Amino acid sequence: MELPRYHRLRGPYYRLEGRACPGCSRRFVPPRSVCPTCKSGGLRPFAFCGRATLYSWSHVLQPARGFASMAPYTVGMVRLEEGPLVSAQLADADGVELAVGMPLEMVTRKIRDADEHGYIVYGYKFRPLLMATRPRP
């Protein structure tokens, strides 16, 4: 990934920073400039808490260029506590029996092989919520 692009993405990638709509209170990550629901502009920065549940997932056996050393890896779509769905890699999922609806939390991890410039790109992934932080039944 090109350095200026990576720099531009540091808010969402490291801290899951998105936007909130002042008109209808919808929240977005990736960040948007215009709310697709109420068409308001002037969306404000909004930091998501990082807790989520699993919507669906897949184990990728045929990776794209740049991800060979990580294959097979798991990707998924997760439902953030604040509402939106996000696509991301799942971390620490080896040997874990995944299930729709299981609780997850965000972690910041290396997300691809170093590219030809040698940059290591870090960003959000989601892992099964640790037992220690899981609410008691």
Binding mask 6-25 for other proteins (x = CB under 8 A): ---x--x-------------
Cβ distance to other proteins smaller for residue 30 or 41: 30
Two tokens at 24?
């209808």
Question: Which residue from 43, 51, 59, 32 is spatially nearest to 127, judged by alpha carbons?
Answer: 51
Q: Which H helix or E strand runs over 12?
A: helix 10-15
The yes or no reply on residue 36 touching other proteins (CB under 8 A) is yes
Q: Among all chains, which residue has been given the structure tokens 């897949």?
A: 58
Tell me which residues touch other proteins (CB under 8 A). Answer: 1, 5, 9, 12, 28, 30, 36, 55-68, 70, 73, 75-77, 84-89, 100, 111-112, 121, 123
